[in-house]
Amino acid sequence: MAVLVTGCAGFIASHIAEQLLAEGHDVIGIDNFDPYYSEELKKQNLKELEKHKSFRFLNGSILDKELLKTVKDIEIVNHQAAIAGVRNSIENPTKYCEINVLGTVNLLEQFRDAEKFIFASSSSVYGEVNEIDLPCKESSQPKPIAPYGLSKLHAEQFCEMFTKVYGLKTATLRYFTVYGPRQRPDEAMCRFITSIFKGEPIQVYADGEQTRDFSFVKDVVQANMLAINRGQGIFNIGSGNRISVNNLVNLISSLMDKKVKIKYPGKQEGDVSHTLADITKAKKILGYEPKYSIEQGLKNHIEWIRTRV
């Protein structure tokens, strides 16, 4: 099949494009190397994809309608491109609206005759959830507390609208804290592991007792591959388990067999206390089944960073 992967040089999208190519699909990737984090890291990811004859790259933005018009005969759109970062979105909400919402609408308009449109959303749409209301179900009321989550929610709604109005089959995957090789260097997991390798103190926001449902990137790739042929609507993609940040740091320290120093600089605006996915729907409809425990995923992530520190 001919698949368009947006944000193809990024963390998750590069893994998805790699798997699509491995399974014999033709892939067109688009990326504009947004300077939110190192362009060099993205170029390394792209270099691996360009080894495949079935891969073609377009350097540009999903905001560029003329560029999108040059992409023909696409069967599947896998839309991963976005500007990420909850805290950064608080400082620049307009940019998040432009890229995450308008960029998604541009793609939906241009490729509304595609066989399937897969959209990468986020658990950030749920916002602050009381412990009693966990795990989050797809039917839970979205209450985003930062522009990033709100931009993802609005993009989801446009996907739903294009299904109703134009008959475009869409699958929205709400990711819960994805980690693994190629992760953005500013993400907590990357920062923790890198700091431990360097013998530097780790910064843990709030008191460290906040919990997260961490999803290993290969499990997220699995969900995207399944969504090509199965299911429409919204699906939570997580592990279905959670761990406190303090316990996560202790686990990383144990796996690396290194002592760790922790600093607690205080709570960050836009951070939620707890996340936990109910993945019943994804299991039933997509056939999604997380294969990596937090220990297995961390070992992979640690080894990847070890070669780069």
Does 65 fall in a domain? yes
On the CB side of 128, CA atoms within 13 Å amount to 7
Does 117 fall in a domain? yes
Percent with pLDDT over 70 in the chain: 100
Amino acid letter for position 98: E
Does 187 fall in a domain? no
Which tops the pLDDT comparison, 50 or 34?
50
pLDDT band at 130 (very low <50, low <70, confident <90, very high): very high
For residue 263, the surrounding DSSP H or E stretch is strand 262-266
CATH number at residue 113: 3.40.50.720
Q: What is the pLDDT of residue 86?
A: 85
pLDDT band at 268 (very low <50, low <70, confident <90, very high): confident
Q: What is the pLDDT of residue 85?
A: 85
> Is the bond leading into 185 cis (omega within 30 degrees of zero)?
no
Does 49 fall in a domain? yes
When pLDDT is averaged across residues 180-195 and rounded to a whole number, the result is 95
User: pLDDT digit string (tens) for 193-239?
Assistant: 999 999 999 999 999 999 999 999 999 999 999 999 999 999 999 99
Count of domains in the chain? 1
Q: What is the pLDDT of residue 36?
A: 80
Q: Which two tokens stand for residue 192?
A: 């923790």
Q: What is the extent of the structural domain holding 283?
A: 2-179+214-240+276-290
When pLDDT is averaged across residues 152-176 and rounded to a whole number, the result is 99
Count helices and strands in the chain by DSSP H and E runs: 12, 13
Q: What is the pLDDT of residue 38?
A: 82
Q: Which two tokens stand for residue 269?
A: 């605006």
Percent with pLDDT over 90 in the chain: 94
CA 172 – CA 121 distance, rounded (Å): 6
Q: What is the pLDDT of residue 93?
A: 96
User: pLDDT digit string (tens) for 101-127?
Assistant: 999 999 999 999 999 999 999 999 999
Q: What is the pLDDT of residue 273?
A: 94
When pLDDT is averaged across residues 166-195 and rounded to a whole number, the result is 97
Residue 165's φ and ψ, nearest 5 degrees, are -85, -40
Q: Which residues are catalytic?
A: 148
Minimum mean pLDDT among 1-15, 21-35, 83-97, 104-118: which range? 83-97
Does 92 fall in a domain? yes
- Residue 9: pLDDT above 90? yes
Q: What is the pLDDT of residue 35?
A: 83
Q: What is the pLDDT of residue 108?
A: 99
Task: Look up the pTM and report it.
Answer: 0.97
Does 223 fall in a domain? yes
- Residue 171: pLDDT above 90? yes
Collapse the DSSP code of 43 into the 3-class scheme (helix H, G, I; strand E, B; otherwise coil) and give the result. Answer: helix
pLDDT band at 169 (very low <50, low <70, confident <90, very high): very high
Does 118 fall in a domain? yes
Q: What is the pLDDT of residue 212?
A: 98
Does 106 fall in a domain? yes
Which tops the pLDDT comparison, 86 or 239?
239
For residue 47, the surrounding DSSP H or E stretch is helix 39-49
